[in-house]
Amino acid sequence: MILIVYAHHEPTSFNHALLETARNTLLRQGHEVEVSDLYAMNFEARASRSDFQEMRDSVRFGYSREQYYANRTGSFASDIAVEMDKLRRADAVIFQFPLWWFSMPAIMKGWVDRVFANGFAYGGSTGQFFERGMMAGKRAMICTTTGGPSYTFSPAGMCGSMEAALWPIHNGILRFVGFDVLPPFVVNGVDILDRETLSAALDAYAQRVSRLQEDELMFFHPWSDYAGDMRLKPGIQARTIGQLARSEPDEADTSVDEKPAAIPILETDMTAYMTVVLTVTDTEWIGEYIRHVPPIMERHGGRPVTVSGLVDVLEGDVIPSQIAHFAFPNMEALNAFMEDPEYLPWKEARQAGANTLIFAFNAAK
């Protein structure tokens, strides 16, 4: 099934003509097509408590936390559940909208906020994002229109390149949840183009849509291109508009030079292991924690052994967000890490944002 998520008010608009072109082309090819016409549906764009039939925490509202809980319990509001079901069944999704303020209309952004839920489309605390996102294996494409002519959306143009304008959507939304992203179909200057040019654009769009499952995908750096601090590894040349190309570390970024060398670990009977079981209650701390803590751990010879994806509980009532295992040269090094003054504020941030169980042990002889 091909899902088209469509955001335009006017049924006589060129955007609507693009929608009909895509739908008719796909139907002729034998595809099942479903359309979420957001304005016609009067889709609610605002994320709120009413998005959940039951709440995990009725006192302090944390939207992504409630999404995670609702996905576990099947307690999303009915309008969200319907859209999620469409996504589950879709092999590809087309996002059709006019470019407003260099982004999608608010009603479509609201659809993303509410439907691309934590635990359903991505796992913020379980590492299930970008190529590991939960929409992996599905294709997505943007079809958009602009009022400004094409030369304004060029690298030398006043608006900058269209590639740069759409990067937050391509990378920060579609690729973030795992989609294989196709190059966009863009029609610039729709208000100033003549009928013949617009007709030719519809024909070109029909050709693009007919190759939805065959066309080459956009490139995004894979996880393997990034180091533990989530930055491109030294020697990896940036290949997207979103990462600044660099051949040498930035002068202002001294972390590459100052990062202490990790102490090599040889697996022996003295090796100490640490198991961390997290149930995340607030995700705000995670990004900075991941950025700052690994270098501190490496200074004490620690390294990750395994980090879980989504945890499937086979027995018991605890629903952890993530389980991770780390190794240290010995128990003394492990304890030194846990008591390192530089780690303590991050430890407090973790304790405030997650319920945690931590175990330390040596391997049995």
The domain of 267 spans 258-362
Last residue of a domain, one of 220, 249, 283: 220
Same domain, 268 and 206: no
CA distance 72 to 74: 6
4, β-bridge pairs: 35, 94
Helices (H), the chain: 14-28, 38-41, 63-73, 78-89, 106-115, 162-169, 195-210, 255-258, 286-299, 331-338, 344-353
Whether residue 177 is found in the same domain as residue 309: no
Higher pLDDT, 122 or 252: 122
Residue 263 has pLDDT above 60, yes or no: no
Give the β-pairing of 272-280 and 322-328: antiparallel
In a domain, 236, yes or no: no
> Do 214 and 344 sit in the same domain of this protein?
no
Domain end point (choices 193, 220, 247): 220
Q: What is the mean pLDDT of the chain?
A: 88
Q: Tokens 């589950």 map to which residue?
A: 88
Q: Please report how the helices 331-338 and 286-299 are oriented relative to each other, as an axis angle in degrees rounded to 10.
A: 140
Do 268 and 154 belong to one domain?
A: no
* Boundary-marking domain end, from 220, 245, 270: 220
Q: For position 306, which CATH number holds? A: 3.30.70.100
- Residue 150 and residue 262 share a domain: no
The kind and range of the H/E element at 350 are: helix 344-353
Q: pLDDT for 144-176, tens place per residue?
A: 999 999 999 988 899 999 999 999 999 999 999
Number of independent structural domains in the chain: 2
- CA atoms within a 13 Å half-sphere pointing along the CA-CB vector of 330: 2
Please indicate, yes or no, whether residues 91 and 181 belong to a single structural domain of this protein. yes
Do 270 and 331 belong to one domain? Answer: yes
Q: In what order do the strands lie in the sheet with 322-328?
A: 303-307, 322-328, 272-280, 354-362
Q: Evaluate if residue 12 carries a pLDDT over 90.
A: yes
- Per DSSP, the three-state class of 355 is strand
Do both 215 and 287 map to the same domain? no
Residue 121 Rama label (left phi>0; alpha psi -120 to 50; beta): alpha
In a domain, 214, yes or no: yes
For residues 66 and 112, state if they share a domain. Answer: yes
Q: What pLDDT is stored for residue 255 in this prediction?
A: 39
Which pLDDT belongs to residue 197?
93
The whole-model pTM stands at 0.70
- Using CB atoms within 10 Å of the CB of residue 210, give its burial: 0 to 12 exposed, 13 to 18 middle, 19+ buried: middle
- List, for residues 101-140, the tens digit of each pLDDT value: 999 999 999 999 999 999 999 986 677 889 999 999 999 9
Calculate the CA 3 to chain-centre distance: 19
Tokens in use for 160?
A: 């900058």
Distance CA 104, CA 142 (A): 10
> Do 114 and 263 reside in the same domain of the chain?
no
Give the pLDDT band (50/70/90) at residue 271. confident
Same domain, 165 and 262: no
Which one-letter DSSP state was computed for residue 283?
A: G
Quick one: 269 and 209 in the same domain? no
Identify the pLDDT of residue 262: 38
pLDDT band for position 179 (cuts 50, 70, 90): very high
Q: Which whole number is the average pLDDT over 94-103?
A: 97
Task: Give the CATH number of the domain where residue 42 resides.
Answer: 3.40.50.360
**C-alpha torsion angle, residues 291, 297, 299, 305 (rounded to 10):** -110
Does residue 252 lie in a domain region?
no
Residue 145: both structure tokens together: 């229109």
